[in-house]
Structure 1
Amino acid sequence: MSVDPFDASLDLLRRLNPKRTGTNLNSIITIAPDLTEDLLATVDQPLEVARCKSGRDYLLCDYNRDGDSHRSPWTNEYDPPLMDGTVPSESVRKLEIAANEAFDVYRDLYYEGGVSSVYFWNLDDGFAGVILLKKAPKPSSAAKSSGTWDSIHVFEANDKQRAWHYKLTSTVILNMVSSGETLGELDLSGNMTRQAEKEFPKGEDSDHIANIGQMVEDLELKMRNLMQEVYFGKAKDVVADLRSVASLSATNKDRGIHQEMLSGLRQR
């Protein structure tokens, strides 16, 4: 029974350390260059930051890539320059500009820093796009903890007879490392993907930004709460069962006090 190389590559990536997804992906592409386009379009990896000639930072991903060049959402130009690079139509570009301004405010309110980029492109019966958000602390030799948060929200907006149908696929990639003398080194890395669909009645073109923004905000909030309750909560329970921050003598002393209190209550 033959194994599809693409499926085998995805299966391998799922079993490797998510913190090294980019490195592992490049290794697979080197071995199987024919899978480059399919893998880059399928596998989510941490976002990279670049700076365009306007002096503003923007995020790189497969959705704003054409060959070896990437398009800036601020200037609508490719770096390195391309004569025939793919760009959205004039009407969709206006929406893209408005979306970048709106999500720049969203980034500042929710993340208090970081970088955001929004890219739109045309579809036969509507348009599609991706909203990218990245937050990473500034590197410091004195810091004992570090981490990165990458949000990738891909959506399609399809024109129905009386409404716009939106389909959103959101992926969050988290990498957090903490070290200290008491606990040692803790490395939490992983990703989560969720989907949502919704219809909104037709209105002005500017309504698209509000509709998409509402869906992104709701789904990202649900994912953030789920990660906090399930992933971090479970990790805390596991670490607490395996290791104790307090010394053994202090733990035994607390147990002794606890037993004395229980004995006193029983005697009453």
Structure 2
Amino acid sequence: MALSTLLRTPVLAGRVFTQQVLKYGSLSCLQRPLVSMVPSMAPVSQHAFKEVTHTPIINSVRSFRTSPVRLSDDKPHDHSKLWVIEKTVAALMIPMLPLGLMIPNKIFDSVIAILICAHSFWGLEAMVVEYVRVLLFGSFLPKVAMAVVYCISATMLGGLFYLNFNDIGLCRAFWRIWRNMQKPKQTKKRRRGLEAIAIDYVRASVVGPILPKIALGLVYLISIAMLGGLFYIIGHDDGLANTVKQIWAIKSDRQKS
């Protein structure tokens, strides 16, 4: 019953299975001698048992394939090697950046430029692959995005090499920018009022070194006298605001008269 069920399955009833059985049967008949093909005087049960032992069903089922055999399998992309290269580049940037800043030269500048461009290229490529997908934007827009990434990386590498071989170099340019960004330690004090007038118009290059000092001394004396007079009005008189009001009232009375 199990054998009949097996023979009625779609796999065993197919055209490929039939061809395999016929081929095996024809080969076995050609290889066996003619005497073996004549029925012997053995009992029928023994003869049937021998015929069953020589059945090709097991071998045919074992060699049967439901999918076509691929003669040459393409090797898949080995992403582990790319991952190792990316991590190696990132690890090399750690000692190369301070070493290039401490010892600026064209060799270190070139190596740093290559490492920076490779690291940025892989980052931009990962962003394009992750966010500009073919399933969402079609097949054209991801190609344009990748072309933009290649253009940016090539332009960056070309600009850095131009800076290294036709200008001061990458690391020296960094130090120049750093110095320009730093604030000067001694900022010039902005002069105003009488002091600014004395410095601008009584210059040592015009009137000598003594007269500007005298002018600044007079400015200090005038400032001190003004501050003392105001404090005297505030402490021993009507105060600054009342004094201003009295002066304004006197002025208005004179205008009326």
What's the TM-score, normalizing by structure 1?
0.17
Bigger fraction of residues in helix: 2
What's the TM-score, normalizing by structure 2?
0.18
Bigger fraction of residues in strand: 1
